[in-house]
Amino acid sequence: MKPKKAIVVGAGIAGIATAIRLSLKGFEVEVHEKNTVAGGKMYLIEKGGYKFDAGPSLFTQPANIEELFTLAGEDIKNYFQYDSLSLACRYFFENGKQVNAYTSAEAFANEMEEKLGEPKAHVLRYLRNAEKVYEAVGQIFLNFSLHKAATWLHPRVLKALSTVKFSYLFNTLNEFNHHNFSTPEAVQIFNRFATYNGSNPYSAPGMLSLIPHLEQNQGTFYPTGGMISIPNALVALAEKKGVKFVLNSTVKEIVVKDKKICGITNENGFVSADLVVSNVDSYFTYKQLLGDAASAKKILKNERSSSAYIFYWGVKKSFPELHLHNIFFSASYQEEFQHLFVKKQFFHDPTIYINVTSKMESGQAPEGCENWFVMVNAPANTEMDWKAQREELRRNVITKLNRMLSTNIEEHIEVEEVLTPLDIEQKTDSYKGSLYGTSSNSKWAAFLRQANFSSQLEGLYFTGGSVHPGGGIPLCLKSAKIVSEMIG
């Protein structure tokens, strides 16, 4: 009997993982990708002897990847290796204070007390509660569809909901953190976890306080070869299991007949399929691939997540004060988010994230040099003149780093590339360049995300950062699992 055929539209990390899972279930699987390489937002820039991971830079929850290799009966070490980190992030404040966020809760709590005067007990209590909420509530919200009755009828739901405090839903993350910490720096550190899904800590619910559990309790990791090694490993696994990747294939339409999916069309014509999984932004899926303007418009009722503006700098100097992950905080954090989400503008004093993979292994930059991935949060694309913004933003970033690192960074930059929200939108079909689809700036945001299936069209499914459970590598991999289990 001929196996059923599944087409995955888009070779982002969720699309690749979905393809692997469906292939292991016996489907004939094709992945159609408009770009020349698979990986979606995860790709590599090489210039002047420097290597830069273009997209996501934080690696947590490696078990999501390990599970794919276990299911496939393959030894992950033949494809992918990684190391755990003792230091998750190094934080820099304008008042001169610096904090090492160790991945040991005890060491991190000691550091917070020593450097900030934040009582150790506050930090340990917060991280214990984050773990408790994640294990009770997060496991349900992130691993199961919120749009299936079976999820809510399971006995575990009532038990989980009993752990949800009023403050998790009806206080903002900032209010929740002010209640739990005594120093402004501690509040700012834990407020920044809202940016993990492109949200505003002054609007997003306290429930996002479970996010630090992933980084501080479960651990932070570094993949050998950089983040690009993740899609490379998964593509190799997919191909070994029979998945066919069709690159340079721009899908023009998801074809529907009598409310049932029957395939796609691309530049070469019609390709039949029994089902289609869209790893494309849900707005573009409805608007462009299905021609369903009404459903696309509904998606726009939900606030878009933030985007990013990234400078890739080849720096001909070594900075021992930097680690793999570094954050230089704005002195006016709330005003920064007011600019991003309300005024839709950059703030003159942006929070700056710097990732330096050359700290972890050789070959990422020339000897004695460093590869800086310099990112600032950006508003979603609102027809801004991004080229005009570039010089002012670059000047503000350099001025801040010069001040906080006591250097003249510009004289050390020998290589530069830039990625704007407009670039992100054009390269990955992420509407308005939003990194995570919709934001979580409401207590109902999780329920308003696009479901992993269509209730109107038989054989249509959704995976990736713009749908449930959300953006970022761990959640994209979880969406792939949810979809594959729905398909059966």
Same domain, 118 and 210: yes
Same domain, 208 and 130: yes
Same domain, 233 and 206: no
Regions of the chain where pLDDT drops below 50: none
Same domain, 214 and 231: no
pLDDT attached to residue 170: 75
Residue 83 resides in a domain: no
Residue 118 resides in a domain: yes
Residue 274 resides in a domain: yes
Instruction: Supply the range of the domain harboring residue 152.
Output: 109-219
Of residues 195, 280, 228, 304, the one with CA closest to residue 464: 280
Same domain, 200 and 254: no
Same domain, 191 and 250: no
* pLDDT tens profile 47-78: 999 999 999 999 999 999 999 999 999 999 99
Same domain, 160 and 242: no
Same domain, 180 and 232: no
Domain end, chosen from 189, 219, 249, is at 219
Residue 277 resides in a domain: yes
Distance, CA of 351 to CA of 92 (rounded, Å): 10
Tokens describing residue 218: 């479960």
Residue 305 resides in a domain: no
Q: Structure pTM?
A: 0.94
pLDDT attached to residue 162: 63
Same domain, 238 and 252: yes
Residue 444 resides in a domain: yes
Same domain, 127 and 174: yes
Residue 121 resides in a domain: yes
Domain end, chosen from 155, 184, 219, is at 219
Residue 28 resides in a domain: yes
Domain end, chosen from 219, 254, 284, is at 219
* pLDDT tens profile 130-170: 998 888 877 777 777 777 777 766 666 666 666 666 556 67
pLDDT attached to residue 114: 98
Q: How far apart are the first and last CA of the chain?
A: 17
Count of domains observed in the chain: 2
Same domain, 215 and 241: no
CATH code of the domain in which 260 resides: 3.50.50.60
Which neighbouring-strand residues pair with 205?
172
pLDDT attached to residue 169: 67
Same domain, 125 and 208: yes
Q: How far is CA 199 from the centre of its chain?
A: 12
